[in-house]
Chains A and B, each alone.
Chain A
Amino acid sequence: MSEIKTVGIAGAGTMGAGIAIVTARAGFRTLLYDTNARQLERARDQQAGFFTSSVKRNKLTQAEVDRIMADLVPTTRLEDLVACDLVIEAVFEDLGVKHQLFAALNRVCPAHTIFASNTSTISITEIAGGTGRDDRFVGMHFCLPAQLMKLVEMSPGMNTKPDVFDAAWQFCAALGQKPVRTQDSPGFVLNYFLIPFNNDAIRMVEAGIAEPADIDLAIKTAMGYAMGPMELLDLIGMDTQVLLCAAMHGLTHEPRATCPALVKRMIAAGRLGRKSGRGFFQYERDAMFGA
């Protein structure tokens, strides 16, 4: 088993950009890949802003940030990922898109490279089945916001080799994250609960039962949650929520996992959440969460 030194992150959206912070901050050379150069620029700006806050709050020194940013390399060229010992996919929750990406990566990456998916809903075994290396494939689900949350749900697929899973587990621990082993079941643990919970909250708004701010206030005050569901949904993004629902409902047929119509209307109105400046709440700037 080769030592993991260089990591690829495929997809520079909210999750990918956050995971790249985690890997680069932990000292791994990190290639952040996306087909969209503007998305990469946006991620770079957000990451720089995040680290500026980290310096201001004395969590990191400027020298450390300079080292991290030098280790964090954006690229639009998939071939650059040839250098990676492990590639974490963080693209849309669409099995076809993931299979297409991994099939291409399988042609580019050396045989020792481990593939991981940050999927939060789709079966690891199903994704692995389209990669050409299902024995070197693991589920590594980081939590939102990835740059702050320590938990990683780690799932082996049916054909994952134990030593591959162990290597990915050790890598996760070396990141300073807290891996927990979960079964390869729809939504693993977190999204099994979170997707229906958030949909219920959306349906309350849809039905005019309560305003988003009242829902968040109630849940935070009563349950001591750090974030209310509406605030969290704005962070997840409506475009992501619709895909999460589709994946989860497609697998479970759980009625509460069905995407509420309001989400689709919000997408049509450009109210995607934090990323578009407006969701259930309005936001003034496109900054990453935390420092």
Chain B
Amino acid sequence: MAHRIIQAGDSRSFPAAHAFLIGAIANGDIHVYIGARVGEAFTRSTNRDQCTAHLVELGDECLGVHTGEARGNEGSNVLGFARFRMGSAEPSNLIELVKQPQTSPAALVACKALFELFGFKVAVCSDVPGRIVNRLIRPYLNAALRRLDERLASAGDLDATLKMGLGYPEGPIALLERTGLAAHFDVTQALYEWTGDAAFAPARRARVAKLRGAAQG
């Protein structure tokens, strides 16, 4: 199994040198499209069936934006992926691998094996906004910010309680401070637009951070 990298702009998953990038070869049979302009690069690709699989790096968008959708029967040898990254923090070791209803099982197995070969943990999910992690943690982070506004606990108490009570390595407020409240705003606003679900509506403090960042340039 070998892979080829097609880079189209800066990648959020791979912002710096990584064994996964170094290990790619020019004639690899899994084509991995990474970067901010991944859509254009993927659209230009031809003879897609001749490869084992295509992997498209996703931001907040769904894979269907790149592949098109067809009455819930979409799916081919094209999968989406994102290496989870919380705001300005370094990318994690998690790859969220995105499949569609009719994704080729062989392509899925090959892509999962490829990432695992490079030491990643791979979680498979459907093509939904937020995939797994953002879908679960953004409402929680919004709720923490709202709870803070309601003065039901101090930031320190909130963090300490969740760390000690649930064994979390970091409380929600400290996590957002470390990785960027404005970055949280961007993700949760995108999810809110995708889903219309009020749980994703950015909390006031995230919106303030975003506007303040914009005002300060």
A218 to B123, CA, bound (A): 6
- Shortest C-beta distance, B43 to chain A (Å), equals 27
Which residues on the B side are within 8 Å of A180 (C-beta)? 157, 160-161, 164
A207 to B136, CA, bound (A): 14
Which residues on the A side are within 8 Å of B135 (C-beta)? 200, 204, 209
B211 within 8 A of A: no
> Is B125 within 8 A of A210, CB to CB?
yes
Which residues on the A side are within 8 Å of B165 (C-beta)? 143, 149, 151, 153, 189-190
A208 to B99, CA, bound (A): 12
**What is the total number of residues of chain A having a CB less than 8 Å from a CB of chain B?**
39
> Is B136 within 8 A of A229, CB to CB?
yes
A194 to B167, CA, bound (A): 12
Which residues on the B side are within 8 Å of A210 (C-beta)? 123-126, 132
> Is B126 within 8 A of A196, CB to CB?
no
- Shortest C-beta distance, A217 to chain B (Å), equals 5
CB-CB contacts below 8 Å: B114-166 with A: 121-126, 128, 131-133, 135-137, 139-140, 143-144, 147, 152-153, 157-158, 160-162, 164-166
Which residues on the B side are within 8 Å of A214 (C-beta)? 123-125, 132
- Shortest C-beta distance, B161 to chain A (Å), equals 4
Task: Name the residue in A201, A222, A223, A227 with the highest tally of chain B Cβ atoms < 10 Å from its Cβ.
Answer: A222
A264 to B94, CA, bound (A): 32
Task: Name the residue in A153, A197, A210, A223 with the highest tally of chain B Cβ atoms < 10 Å from its Cβ.
Answer: A223
**A194-B166, A209-B125, A221-B121 are known contacts. Are A204 and B136 too (CB-CB below 8 A)?**
yes
A280 to B119, CA, bound (A): 26
B23 within 8 A of A: no
A219 to B135, CA, bound (A): 11
B93 within 8 A of A: yes
Q: Contact check: which of B94, B164, B172 meets A218 at CB < 8 Å?
A: B94
Which residues on the B side are within 8 Å of A223 (C-beta)? 133, 137, 168-169
Interface string of A182-196 (1 = CB under 8 A from B): 110100011011101
Q: Contact check: which of B139, B147, B158, B168 meets A225 at CB < 8 Å?
A: B168
> Is B161 within 8 A of A218, CB to CB?
no
A116 within 8 A of B: no
A193 to B152, CA, bound (A): 13
> Is A200 within 8 A of B136, CB to CB?
yes
Q: Chain B residue with minimal CB distance to A183? A: B152
Q: Contact check: which of B123, B137, B164 meets A150 at CB < 8 Å?
A: B164
> Is A193 within 8 A of B169, CB to CB?
no
Which residues on the A side are within 8 Å of B168 (C-beta)? 223-225
CB-CB contacts below 8 Å: A143-197 with B: 143, 149-151, 153, 178, 180, 182-183, 185, 189-190, 192-194, 196-197
A226 within 8 A of B: yes
> Is B140 within 8 A of A218, CB to CB?
no
Chain A positions near chain B (C-beta within 8 angstroms): 143, 149-151, 153, 178, 180, 182-183, 185, 189-190, 192-194, 196-197, 200-201, 204, 207-211, 214-215, 217-219, 221-227, 229, 256
Chain B positions near chain A (C-beta within 8 angstroms): 84, 86, 92-94, 96, 121-126, 128, 131-133, 135-137, 139-140, 143-144, 147, 152-153, 157-158, 160-162, 164-170, 172, 199
- Starting from the known contacts A221-B84, A223-B169, 7 additional A-B residue pairs (CB-CB under 8 Å) come to A185-B152, A214-B125, A218-B84, A221-B94, A222-B92, A222-B133, A225-B168
